[in-house]
Amino acid sequence: MFAHTGRLLRGALLILLCFTITANGLEVLLYSFGMSSSHAMFTNRFAVALTTQGHHVTTFLAPTRPGVKIPKFPNKEDLFEVESEEVVGNFKKMEQTIMRQIVNGKSTMWQLFNMPQAMHHMMMKTCSTIANDTAMRDRIRKHRYDVVVFHCVDTCLLGLINQTHNATVICLSAGNYITDLPAMMMAIPSNPSYIPHFFSAMSDIMTFPERMANAILQWTIRTLLQLPVSTLHQEMELLRRLTNSTIASFNDIAKPDGLIMNGEQFIDFPRPMLHDIIYMGNLESSSKKELSEEWRHLLNESNNGIIIFSLGSVVQESFIKEEIKNGLLKAFQKFPEHTIVWKLNDPTFLKHHTLPPHVHAFDWIPQRQLLNSQKVKLFITHGGYNSLLEITLAGVPMILIPLFGDQSGNVARAVRHRLGVQLPITKITADTVEEKMRLVLGNDELLRGALLILLCFTITANGLEVLLYSFGMSSSHAMFTNRFAVALTTQGHHVTTFLGPTRPGVKIPKFPNKEDLIVVESEEIVSNFKKMEQTIMRKIVNGKSTMWQLLKLPQTLHDMMVKTCSIVANDTALRDRIRRNHYDVVVSYCLDTCVFGLIDPTNKASIICLSAGNYVTDLTATAMAIPSNPSYIPHLLSATSDIMTFPERIVNAILQWTIRTLLQLPVPALNEEMKLLRRLTNSTITSFNDLAKPDGLIMNGEQFVDFPRPMLHDVIYMGNLESASKKELSEEWLNLLNESNKGIIVFALGSVVKESFVEETTKEGLLKAFQSFPEYTVVWKLDDPTFLKHHSLPQHVHAFDWIPQRQLLNSQKVKLFITHGGYNSLLEITLAGVPMILIPLFGDQPGNVARAVRHRLGVQLRMTEITADTMEEKMRLVLGNDEFAKRAKAFSAMLQDKIAPNEQFMAKRFEQMAYGKRSFKLLKAVNLPSLVALCLDVISLIALIIILMTFFIHAQCKETEE
């Protein structure tokens, strides 16, 4: 379903390189529209941004309409404006017929469907113009481009490019919308139950009729009419005829490697996105041009600020009916205390109407500069995305009058965020406009909403009080928690950390403030853990566990968490530390609900879930409505990748259904915690469902190590918070590294599993395999005195009960790492660029290993398959194949090429989540029932209608025959 991972990663990397100073001189072909000033302006900003970062951009504006204001591009000789008299004639004809009707709300359904067809004919003619122009065609075909960027609305460019180019193909969207072509080519989730179609005017929360209309619209366009694929085949036929292209059909062209979307993700609806899609933000945060003396004088003469009315650069104001403009003028006359700036290029109307002194008409306005003046109190707009973005970033409330295209969807986004109110063009009268203007100008709530969403992009939350509730059951968990706490503290926040439950023997790193670290221990927990180690864990490690033992393990862990919760609730000092402190943010693994029940219900803290790996637990996925389609998203406890066979999909689907629906885990167990807290703390929370839902999820590690899967915009990957260990290796370790001929091989199964659990025959097999590699120094993490007492290690094999893993990896001497696939280890090894042999044991490790194997970073070997021969075979396979080492190094280089340091990026997103709860509530995805999410109710009703119609027609025919 998803594009090939190698291509996907290359695309994602090059998208990042576009905005990274370290990227050197990419040759970029940018193919965009020139049909409106806004499109030309957006294209210009994109080209300037790339050129500023050292890339060479060749731009084609095709088709281009005369009269469009073309901004100054970086290199004039690299700008091609593709004009055609036929295109101009067709556009004027469309303006006078379809556009005029649409603008006034009098278009028929046929005209609405005919408009995209008319646009396609213009693009076909433009494609023909380029293909017949030798200079332009050669500029595209003979030049070697590294990256090709285009709007992915037609395929002319991909057909014109020399097929031997192998350039990365990136789609570009001028707004927060995804058209049908890239959605289908890139397998972007488009569930009609909560994702409105590009042509839809609905939000993500729909009524049943809206969902039905949205589903039928999507099905009609993509399945019945097969748009735009059916029309794109015509382009391919044209190109074969004009250029002798060997592309047989649309399906033979290159698929996009990524999608760059204009604007900010927080303005969009909460919808699942793939990790090869990025929102590029506002490329020009403030205009560098100063306002003229005339405009500054106009601003200064205003008493209560200015009101702007503008319907963009595509629609000519003369198209609008006289009675609508009369209604607007009458409404404006009611606001003499404001200066009104009206973009009105209609000499005929102005000739027959006298404007009051406070109303000023212009055929063009310096929109950005006016918004930056902070004098604008209201903006009446058509909802074009560039305008919507500029107004939103200026913190100005709106009245929105959508006309056509993506404007209805843009307006739905603004209304959903409570940034303004909508007014259809057909309902404009003097009274309705005045009513809406007074509503917005007299309602502080809308102004506050506009200002607060602006804060999401600009403000830094200083000195947040953070409660971090985490595990201490293993050294890796404690280390991860420590890095997270250190990163937040470094950014100026105060972090109180609870490590509970904590197992004795776990190495606790040095936290920022010793007095703010609470380690929760219990003899009963220790006893239960030791019992689990000796029974369940020993069996699991050696691959001899039963299904009952596997199911018992999560229950045992939960019992320990309940006991920890009881300890905290019964300890007055600890309980008061949680309840009486007013925390801004509570961060938890979201595996249990103890901390949420312990905090004061009146404390409106943001709740952020934390994941120690690249996995999403069932509780978090359910609470945050994170898509978990079992056809291509493996369950946390699954060992499959995103590409599954039919039996694997069956197993994955049954596993997810059993846990979430049949057993409803972990909800029943969590309700037991709620019962405990009500008894111990007089909590008023009656059940798990009464708890606040998470405001975000922060996942450990890198998104590109994960499978390609859809994620919401309140989910972030925080990267590796400690890119390199600051500690130096001891003299002993340095000598060990230097005595190696070909480098070192490291074997370590993490900090949870004791090596004494591993069967004797398995360790003997490992030892025999290591003996076959005397040219390498083997570092074996082996804390098993009994085994070492009865076995002699060869000179090149060294056993240690602990190893400085990070420092060894940073030494560049490690040639192979044999690991259990714990996520911290997997991330460290991947970032060091070292190939792996992976031996998963339990928990999330099989899934982590599946990720590494999917990215070709190593090979898997099950614990039950380990013998001297199998281990030696795998070691020779990895060490003797340069492809593994090259792949690991290339993958490491990609992960380390960052836009910003991980700590800064994570802290900024953390602050947005936290600040959003206190001031501007970011939209959350809605958790829909399966019946609704799968559109089964819509399908059932449509099927019923078809059955009844068939029955009725059959009855009528039978009656006629009789």
- Residue 784 near residue 755, CB atoms below 8 Å: yes
Reduced to 3 states (helix: H, G, I; strand: E, B; else coil), residue 708 is coil
Q: How far apart are CA 400 and CA 391, in angstroms?
A: 11
* Residue located via tokens 């509780």: 619
- Residue 503 near residue 805, CB atoms below 8 Å: no
pLDDT value for 797:
97
660 or 358, which is more confident? 358
Q: What is the rounded average pLDDT of the residues 576-604?
A: 84
Q: Please identify, in words, the CATH class of the domain defined by 293-458.
A: alpha beta
> How do residues 408-431 score in pLDDT, each as one tens digit?
999 999 999 889 999 999 999 999
> How do residues 340-392 score in pLDDT, each as one tens digit?
999 999 999 999 999 999 999 999 999 999 999 999 999 999 999 999 999 99
Sorted by where each begins, the domain ranges of the chain are 5-83+127-179+248-279, 293-458, 465-717, 731-896
Q: How far apart are CA 931 and CA 409, in angstroms?
A: 25
Q: How many helices (H) and strands (E) does the chain have?
A: 38, 26
Q: Which two tokens stand for residue 7?
A: 């291509």
Task: Report which residue type is found at 166.
Answer: N
Does the CA dihedral 261-265-270-275 come out positive or negative?
Answer: positive
pLDDT value for 101:
82
Cβ-count burial 873-910 (b if 16+ within 10 Å, e if not)? ebbeebbeeeebbebbeebbebbeebeeebbebbbebb
> How do residues 239-259 score in pLDDT, each as one tens digit?
888 777 777 776 777 678 999
Q: How far apart are CA 690 and CA 596, in angstroms?
A: 10
- Cα separations in angstroms, 68 against 34, 36, 317: 7, 6, 15
β 517-519/836-838 pair status: unpaired
pLDDT value for 899:
79
Which of 165-174, 775-784, 921-930, 932-941 has the lowest average pLDDT? 921-930
> How do residues 519-571 score in pLDDT, each as one tens digit?
988 888 888 888 887 788 888 888 887 777 777 777 787 788 888 888 998 89
pLDDT value for 701:
86
Q: How far apart are CA 828 and CA 59, in angstroms?
A: 41
Helix (H) or strand (E) holding 169: strand 168-173
For 834, what's the count of Cα atoms within 13 Å in the CB-facing half-sphere? 28
> How do residues 25-48 score in pLDDT, each as one tens digit?
899 999 998 878 888 988 999 999
Q: Please identify, in words, the CATH class of the domain defined by 465-717.
A: alpha beta
Helices (H), 53-108: 85-94, 100-103
> How do residues 706-752 score in pLDDT, each as one tens digit?
998 999 888 999 988 864 446 789 999 999 998 888 999 999 999 88
Reduced to 3 states (helix: H, G, I; strand: E, B; else coil), residue 18 is coil
DSSP state of 19: T
The whole-model pTM stands at: 0.85
- Residue 729 near residue 811, CB atoms below 8 Å: yes
> How do residues 312-335 score in pLDDT, each as one tens digit?
988 888 889 999 999 999 999 999
How far the first Cα of the chain sits from its last, in Å, is 52
Q: Which two tokens stand for residue 271?
A: 């919808």
Indicate whether 20 pLDDT > 50: no
pLDDT band at residue 447 using 50, 70 and 90 as cut-offs: low
User: Considering the domain 5-83+127-179+248-279 in this protein, what is its CATH number?
Assistant: 3.40.50
Same fold? 5-83+127-179+248-279, 465-717: yes
Q: How far apart are CA 9 and CA 258, in angstroms?
A: 9
Mean pLDDT over all residues of the chain?
86
Looking at beta carbons, which pairs linking 361-368 to residues 24 or more positions away fall under 8 Å?
Answer: 365/308, 365/310, 365/341, 366/287, 366/289, 366/291, 366/292, 366/295, 367/308, 367/310, 368/284, 368/286, 368/287
Q: How far apart are CA 733 and CA 798, in angstroms?
A: 11
Indicate whether 594 pLDDT > 90: no
DSSP state of 637: T
Q: Please identify, in words, the CATH class of the domain defined by 731-896.
A: alpha beta
Instruction: Show the 3-state SS of 109-156.
Output: HHHHHHHHHHHHHHHHHHHHHHHHCHHHHHHHHCCCCCEEEECCCCCH
What string of DSSP letters covers 189-256? ---TTTS--TT----SS--HHHHHHHHHHHHIIIIIS-TTHHHHHHHHHHHHHHH-----SGGGSPPP
> How do residues 671-716 score in pLDDT, each as one tens digit?
888 888 888 777 777 777 777 678 899 999 898 899 989 998 889 9
Radius of gyration of the chain, Cα coordinates, nearest whole angstrom: 31
